Chains A and B, each alone.
Chain A
Amino acid sequence: MSVSLDQLKAIGKELRKDILRMTTEAGSGHPSSSMSAVEVVAALYFGGFLNFDAKNPKDPNRDRFILSKGHAAPVLYAALAHKGLFPHEELMSLRKLGSRLEGHPNMLRLGGIEASTGSLGQGLSMGVGYALAARLAKNGAHTYVMTGDGELGQGQIWEAAASAGKYGLDNLTCIVDRNGFQQTGSAFDVLNMDPIDGKFAAFGWSTQVINGNDQQEVLDALKRARATRGQPSCIVSLTRKGYGMLNLLATLKDENFHGKPMPAKHLEEALAEVEAGVA
């Protein structure tokens, strides 16, 4: 199922273009928060890590991916569409009444969604629950949770981190998408949680810090996480919010670009920058 690095990068471009198109069509959403996470999501779904079959999305022995930063739902929907879980054109129904693709993930509406998220801080606890269940079932399933960096302000994250450490859940990996921004500004200014790796390590986690927009680094980190024994793994994924359209965001003088779609008049420019790739 695994693909080459170049193929994975090409998939990443498609995911980014889908994110931009569906949020512009919806007229709302969080494209920049979605685009920072593309390399990790692409690696999980298409790089041979997540044992998830779109034809059997409820397989009890599947691996799980929980998008705890639920506002980045477009990156998850784009990946699930490319997996063949639903028709690609359905992406354009995002946020519309009756759509399975709600503004934040709703596990009742769509198979392949492993947690209904959007109230920040809750996904890692559910991941601990999935990991404990996999241990009871002895099925070897792995659970991946992606949180934001602003999300780490929630105390529940650290309750979950402590409990995962207690049980030595080596079938659990938490990826922190540290894109450096949250709603009102820099995540370093609003509530700086550095050292993030040090905090997880203190709770008994194996930690790595990587460039999360470097596809090869992401693949290598996920491989090490999966091979870790006796403790849960945390990957602090240093990323750029809106990665893939950073030049345009600089032109727009909005580095954060939080919670808004690309205006239609700039959409083609954004898509072109994604297609050209980052030098």
Chain B
Amino acid sequence: MAGASSSVKSTRPLGKATRDAFGRALESLGESFGSLVVVDADVGNSTRTEWFGNKYPDRFFNVGIAESNQVGVAAGLAAAGHISLVSSFAAFIICNAYDQLRMSVAYPKLNVKVVGSHAGISIGEDGASQMGIEDVGLACSLPGFVVVVPSDEASARAATAAMLAHQGPVYLRVGRPDVPKIYEGDNIPFTLGKANKLADGKDVTIIANGLMVAPALDAAEALAAEGISARVLDMHTIKPIDREALKAAAEETGAIVVAEEHLAHGGLGSVVAMNVAEIKPVPIRYVNIGDQFGESGSPEALIEAYGLTATHVAAAARAAVAAKK
């Protein structure tokens, strides 16, 4: 069943993969969301939608390895009144079916939930073809889409419920490996479009999402030992972005680091920069995978090689603070 083969190191206790938490949440929410239907492209045992499918076989349709049709079928079901959910690897559901997401979902504002799993380089050994590294930027370019990247199992559960309750298209990004716990219990703060402040500080704000929230917190602890006070925001919603939190970060800390497991182009960093440049320009530094594809390797080795550790986040924070002067 679940048993992810890999995990991400942190000083924080390890929790489940966000895909696992999403899958369990979907399975349990199937009852309260009676109109929910899932259209799969033959990866339900990877994306964990099969747990819903096993419980609700009449509301689960595996249309085969055909993401374009998968999205179109889901759009038809949504137009007929269902909450439709499609899921595949982020690389495939976004890149393969982009025009269908654009024309059959975004343009008519249909109630389709799009879940991209196996996002980022942290899937590890399968390599670049399976790694969704541009999915957030592309999803943000679909008018009207809400775009969400939860950081751990509790926030993935909360994000799944919030996504289903939201009327309209949503993109939810989840990952393959087990990840550190950021939140405890089920009563965690989670409102679409509202950042969670996990640590307060006055010298710099580290804005992170997904896999990068744990290293952001670890970096903040390391920086504190050096006398740098870092605020940490879990910016789980990229669109709509929490402009109030960005305004406060710029005005109150005067420097920003954006950390994400995504291409430099189009992701959280781009959205933060666009907004901060307008609200109150302050030095910004970025931690991401740049402008390159991933490759095969263990998740831990890739995260180190592509510069996504707490050490890299702390270095970026020092650079941002130094740039204030």
Interface residues, chain A, CB within 8 Å of chain B?
A: 60, 106-108, 114-119, 121-122, 124-134, 136-137, 155-156, 159-160, 162-163, 166-167
Contacts and interface: CB of A to CB of B under 8 A. Distances in A.
Nearest to A131: B76
A129 B64 contact: no
Contact of A162 (B64, B74, B78, B79): B64
Interface stretch (B4-12, B104-112, B182-190, B208-216): B104-112
Interface residues of B, number: 31
Nearest to A135: B58
A128 B76 contact: yes
Contacts, number: 111
Contact of B108 (A108, A128, A133, A167): A108
Given A129-B79, A163-B63, A108 B109 contact: yes
Interface stretch (B65-73, B131-139, B241-249): B65-73
Contacts of A155: 68
Interface string B84-124: 10000000000000011011100111000000000000000
27 contacts: A60-B81, A106-B108, A107-B79, A115-B104, A116-B103, A122-B68, A125-B68, A125-B69, A125-B76, A125-B100, A126-B72, A126-B79, A126-B104, A128-B63, A128-B76, A129-B73, A129-B74, A130-B79, A131-B76, A132-B77, A136-B59, A136-B82, A155-B68, A156-B68, A159-B68, A163-B61, A166-B64
Contacts of B102: 119
B320 interface: no
Interface of B: 37, 39, 58-59, 61, 63-64, 66, 68-69, 71-82, 84, 99-100, 102-104, 107-109
Contacts of B78: 129
Contact of A107 (B99, B100, B108): B108
A159 B104 contact: no
Contacts of B39: 129
Q: Find the residue from A115, A118, A131, A155 having the highest chain B CB count within 10 A.
A: A115
A156 B58 contact: no
Nearest to B71: A125
Given A155-B68, A159-B63, A159-B66, A125 B77 contact: no
A170 B99 CA distance: 28
A125 B73 CA distance: 5
A60 B82 CA distance: 11
Contacts of B107: 106, 108, 116
